[in-house]
């Protein structure tokens, strides 16, 4: 029963209307080790064709999943992208092709994988998403250069057969011609040695090559056969050593495929992938929400169930959390127990790297006196304090043995002499400089108490705004 309930459990992380393009993000299988995001970006009026794109069905193909992540920056004027930037995140965290076997060989039928196989739940969701799509593209990295050595998969655009329907239930389409055109155009921008080739597997036929026979249970063949939609496998060579270049090649062929399919863009992403940078961890517990800066220790006044609800960093996808002594590979959204006398170390990962940590313990936290809209109150260490539109907050100027100044990032006090101490100055949302926020939307601003160079206090100011959710999404 629990499994059934969890199966399509979805949380909406955010939705935004950005200059005519609608952005919508859901997380599937939340509160499990297998949670993965699904992003929808749609033009405001002309929502077809709908192109479904998988990145990271194989966990050791960073070019594929980083390219899908970059596509989340696109803004459309015609069509819809449904992006899965981390399909097989469990295997990505381990940097292996498939921790529970090859997920891309589990689409043939429900009996192909055993009931206890965690991939089964993911594959079932993936098949449902195909039902929404007019076109399907599965991104991969593979060895070799197909144009030079035809047995290898690298630098190829794979199709399962020459004809499909497009849009759904509409006109037959020559995908061989369409894919061939995309490849020809992309190749104009590549050196001869790195050119792509179109490869028709003719998956319907009996295959001599066992690797091609296996494709009968792949995602792309399932989409082609069951939904009769144009379906592509895009393979960038693993022999290209730089992930940045792999992403560039993925985006180059995708751009030409989108053009051939009639998807139009207001802006198309560049291929630059920033190294991950951790900015903060959000926890939820019995007494509210808390902020833990990287490398810090957080005293919490009460034991009980806590969960990590958000990671702030310079990258949107790929984050995970582990706790020393607690079971599980990814504890994001999963409640855990913090006991009296216990020191819990929390490790933050990005894809397969560990990049930061923090500590939790039950101990009396220091607190800062503030006045929020005329009401005096105490905010304990780490607290996330919300400021509504029109409200003001000011930090008490009373002497403290713990800190000499309070510095709210993104706030410039009017007093130019003592510019790094923000005590005594009323703060409101309109005075905050958004580029100093932890998040790209510009809503979360850390504040630090300092004694000399040492950080002796921290908390987080959240700026609440009008709801930006679009009225509907189709
Ligand atoms: Zn692959």
Q: What is residue 208's predicted lDDT score, i.e. its pLDDT?
A: 79
- Which letter, b or e, does each residue of 12-30 get, where b requires 16 or more Cβ atoms within 10 Å of its Cβ? eeebeeeeebbbbbbbbbb
Residue 117 pLDDT > 90: no
Q: What is residue 177's predicted lDDT score, i.e. its pLDDT?
A: 94
pLDDT band at 12 (very low <50, low <70, confident <90, very high): very low
CA 311 – ligand 1 centroid, Å: 28
Ordered DSSP codes for 343-367: EEEEEEEETTEEEEEEEEEESPPPE
Terminal alpha carbon distance of the chain = 30
Q: Where are the alpha helices (DSSP H) in 156-198?
A: 175-187
Say how far apart CA 408 and CA 432 lie, in whole Å: 9
6 or 15, higher pLDDT:
15
CA 142 – ligand 1 centroid, Å: 6
CA 100 – ligand 1 centroid, Å: 15
Rg of the chain (C-alpha set): 25
Contact 322, 349 (CB under 8 A): yes
- Which letter, b or e, does each residue of 401-436 get, where b requires 16 or more Cβ atoms within 10 Å of its Cβ? eebeebbbbbbebeeeeeeebbbebebbbeebeeee
Say how far apart CA 55 and CA 63 lie, in whole Å: 9
Contact 268, 75 (CB under 8 A): no
CA 59 – ligand 1 centroid, Å: 8
pLDDT in tens, 289-328: 999 999 999 999 999 999 999 999 999 999 999 998 888 8
Place of tokens 């503030």: 370
CA 451 – ligand 1 centroid, Å: 52
Q: Over range 112-135, report the average pLDDT.
A: 88
CA 285 – ligand 1 centroid, Å: 40
CA 146 to chain centre: 31
Residue 428 pLDDT > 70: yes
pLDDT in tens, 343-394: 999 999 999 999 999 999 999 999 999 999 899 999 999 999 999 988 999 9
Q: Label the pairing between strands 135-142 and 50-54.
A: parallel
Place of tokens 């969960």: 307
Q: What is residue 69's predicted lDDT score, i.e. its pLDDT?
A: 98
CA 168 – ligand 1 centroid, Å: 26
CA 96 – ligand 1 centroid, Å: 11
CA 57 – ligand 1 centroid, Å: 7
Q: Over range 43-59, report the average pLDDT.
A: 95
129 or 402, higher pLDDT:
129
pLDDT in tens, 142-197: 999 999 999 999 999 999 998 888 765 578 889 999 999 999 999 999 999 999 99
Residue 206 pLDDT > 70: yes
Q: What is residue 6's predicted lDDT score, i.e. its pLDDT?
A: 34
Residue 135 pLDDT > 80: yes
For residue 387, CA distances in Å to 443, 459, 464 come to 10, 13, 6
Ordered DSSP codes for 274-330: PPP-EEEEEEEETTEEEEE-TT-EEEESS-EEEEEEEEEES-SS-EEEEETTS--S-
CA 234 – ligand 1 centroid, Å: 9
Which residues, listed in sequence order, are joined to residue 408 by a DSSP beta bridge?
Answer: 447
Q: Over range 10-27, report the average pLDDT.
A: 69
Residue 33 DSSP one-character state: T
Place of tokens 């020809």: 184
Say how far apart CA 435 and CA 134 lie, in whole Å: 38
Say how far apart CA 91 and CA 58 lie, in whole Å: 7
Say how far apart CA 63 and CA 155 lie, in whole Å: 12
Q: What are the two backbone dihedrals, phi and then psi, of residue 118, each rounded to the nearest 5 degrees?
A: -60, -25
Say how far apart CA 318 and CA 276 lie, in whole Å: 9
Q: What is the mean pLDDT of the chain?
A: 89
Q: What is residue 5's predicted lDDT score, i.e. its pLDDT?
A: 33
324 or 35, higher pLDDT:
35
Q: At what angle do helices 243-261 and 175-187 cross, to 10 degrees?
A: 130
CA 108 – ligand 1 centroid, Å: 17
Q: What is residue 4's predicted lDDT score, i.e. its pLDDT?
A: 34
Q: What is residue 11's predicted lDDT score, i.e. its pLDDT?
A: 42
Q: Over range 390-418, report the average pLDDT.
A: 86
Its pTM stands at 0.90
């Amino acid at each position: 029963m629990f499994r059934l309930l969890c199966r399509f459990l979805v949380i909406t992380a955010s939705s935004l209307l950005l200059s005519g393009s609608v952005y919508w993000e859901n997380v599937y299988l939340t509160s499990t080790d297998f949670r993965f995001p699904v992003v929808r970006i749609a033009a405001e009026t002309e929502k077809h064709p709908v192109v479904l794109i998988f990145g990271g069905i194989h966990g050791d193909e960073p070019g594929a999943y980083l390219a899908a992540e970059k596509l989340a920056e696109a803004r459309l004027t015609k069509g819809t992208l449904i992006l899965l930037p981390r399909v097989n995140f469990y295997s990505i965290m381990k940097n292996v092709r498939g921790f529970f076997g090859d997920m891309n060989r589990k689409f043939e039928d429900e009996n192909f994988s055993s009931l206890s196989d965690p991939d089964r739940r993911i594959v079932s969701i993936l098949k449902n998403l195909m039902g929404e799509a007019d076109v399907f593209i599965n991104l991969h990295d593979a060895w070799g250069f197909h144009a030079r050595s035809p047995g290898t998969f690298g630098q190829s655009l794979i199709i399962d057969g020459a004809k499909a329907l497009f849009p759904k239930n509409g006109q037959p389409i020559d995908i061989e011609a369409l894919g061939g055109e995309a490849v020809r155009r992309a190749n104009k921008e590549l050196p001869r040695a790195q050119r792509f080739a179109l490869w028709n597997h003719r998956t319907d036929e009996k295959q001599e090559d066992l690797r091609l026979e296996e494709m009968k249970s792949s995602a792309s063949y399932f989409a082609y056969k069951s939904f009769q939609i144009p379906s592509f496998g895009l393979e960038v060579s693993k022999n290209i050593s730089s992930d940045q270049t792999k992403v560039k090649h993925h985006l180059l062929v995708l751009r030409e495929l989108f053009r051939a399919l009639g998807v139009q863009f207001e802006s198309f992403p560049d291929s630059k992938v920033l190294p991950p940078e951790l900015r903060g961890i959000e926890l939820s517990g019995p007494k509210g929400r808390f902020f833990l800066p990287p490398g810090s220790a957080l005293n919490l006044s009460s034991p009980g169930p806590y969960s990590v609800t958000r990671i702030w960093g310079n990258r949107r996808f790929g984050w995970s959390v582990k706790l020393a002594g607690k079971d599980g590979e990814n504890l994001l959204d999963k409640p855990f127990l913090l006991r009296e006398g216990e020191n819990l170390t929390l490790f933050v990962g990005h894809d397969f790297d560990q990049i930061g940590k923090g500590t939790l313990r039950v101990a009396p936290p220091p607190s800062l006196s503030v006045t929020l809209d005329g009401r005096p109150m105490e905010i304990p260490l780490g607290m996330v304090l919300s400021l509504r539109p029109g409200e003001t907050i000011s930090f008490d100027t009373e002497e403290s043995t713990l800190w000499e100044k309070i510095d709210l990032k993104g706030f410039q006090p009017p007093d130019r002499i003592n510019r790094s101490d923000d005590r005594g100055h009323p703060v409101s949302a309109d005075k905050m400089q958004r580029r100093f926020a932890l998040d790209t939307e510009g809503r979360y601003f850390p504040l630090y108490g300092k004694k000399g160079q040492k950080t002796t206090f921290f908390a987080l100011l959240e700026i609440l705004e009008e709801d930006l959710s679009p009225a509907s999404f189709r």
